[in-house]
Amino acid sequence: MVAVHRNWSPFVVSAPGKVILFGEHAVVYGKAAIAGSLDMRAYALVTPRTDTKARMVLPDIGVDILFDIHTLPQLSSTDLSHPSEVEALVPSSISIPEGPGRTAVLTFVYLYGCIFAESDRNTGFTLCVRSLLPVGAGLGSSAAFNVALSATLLQLTGQLQEEGVSASDKKLINQWAFHGEQVAHGTPSGIDNSVATYGGFLKYVKGEPSVNLESTHALRVLITNTNVPKSTKALVAGVRALRDRYPAVVDGILDSIHSISTTASSLFQSTSEAEESLEQQMQDIIRINHGLLSTLGVSHASLERVREVTAVRNLASKITGAGGGGCALTLIPNGMASGDVDVVARELEAEGFHCYQTVVGGGGVAIARSVDGKVAVEQWLADTIERHGSPSAGGDGDVYGSAVAGFATLPAAAIAVLKPE
């Protein structure tokens, strides 16, 4: 395979976020969890340069860094005892920002160093990532970034055989994205990057390969971010302390949550269940799962308020993620009008929450050179930027600098049209 060095046109890589549907906390003890991909994605615009610089622009978190690719370390995945140790190898000329930008820069340095051989480092590129996922809400924004970044670097070095479509391509992308998650999180489970790579619904058991449920069912959901900060570490420790005091009781709860996950797995894989029956069963196990998590002490007044507001309209809601604040998930019946969902969302937002109407179970990572299979990304970008205003021109070596500046300021609705079918 030959690396893509020159004469290539801009392309877009996108990857979805994730939501944990069932199995929170129980998964820590070897029980099953079910996760699904969100119809909310991170989008990476990749453009060629005429110099030997690599520029990473993350406008949503205020990062814009220009790397001299010849100063970036040359690595293999075995050079460090753990990918998070890459910080010691970052060139002193690079100023590492604080906050989410810090892990993004470290991840870029690590993955670029591992994936780009010396022979690949003869031309530059610009990577501008726009995420339609809220950062730090437990919806997989980090994994979506890492999958999009890994797919970009592998594509640029000619290591993908079918632009991310084939099983071997996805396996390779997922492997490198997991290393990126290690830089960001130390000891990730691997479920977030797997969902962002493969999409759909995955069943995960700690220490075992995740299983794609190959479901034809998609779920309409309302994700509510309570905006209440949480500590996953503290919540996990709290459940552990409760289990230490009452092992038989808590183990029974964890076993029940496991049964919910296995029931959900069967429902997703079912081809005989009528849609109405499937929705009813999903509502039932969502309510039960929330109740069980509440007994473990991981709910919060804000999450209970979400449940109360949605229950008035006979909607089922539950904690998604660690609990203690963070996000809640509400199942929306397929027959419910969007206007009625808007009413519920407004009521929740009046409580100070932030709501996202989305779908769970869509596709995974995708590489696109055109929009809707018709208009080249480069032309789409020019047309879209013209409609939304004129950006500033690019700098030396960045022939697409104005396009990148325009992409960085496009509204979310304009970017969302890049979502793969």
Identified catalytic residue from 189, 192, 299, 302: 192
CA–CA distance, 135 with 137 (Å, rounded to integer): 6
Residue 121 has which token pair?
Answer: 């480092």
Which phi-psi region, left, alpha or beta, contains residue 407 (left: φ > 0; alpha: ψ -120 to 50)? alpha
Question: Known catalytic residue: 192?
Answer: yes
DSSP letters of 57-69?
Answer: EEGGGTEEEEEET
DSSP annotation of 199: B
Q: For residue 125, what is the enclosing H or E element?
A: strand 125-131
Q: Is 244 a catalytic residue?
A: no
Residues 6+ apart with CB under 8 A from 199: 16, 37, 361, 362, 363, 364, 365
Cα–Cα distances in Å, from 302 out to 216, 221, 306, 353?
33, 18, 6, 9
Of the listed 131, 142, 210, 317, which one is catalytic? 142
How far is the C-alpha of 109 from the C-alpha of 104, rounded, in Å? 9
Tokens 């503290």 belong to 234
Query: Catalytic residues, which ones?
Result: 142, 192
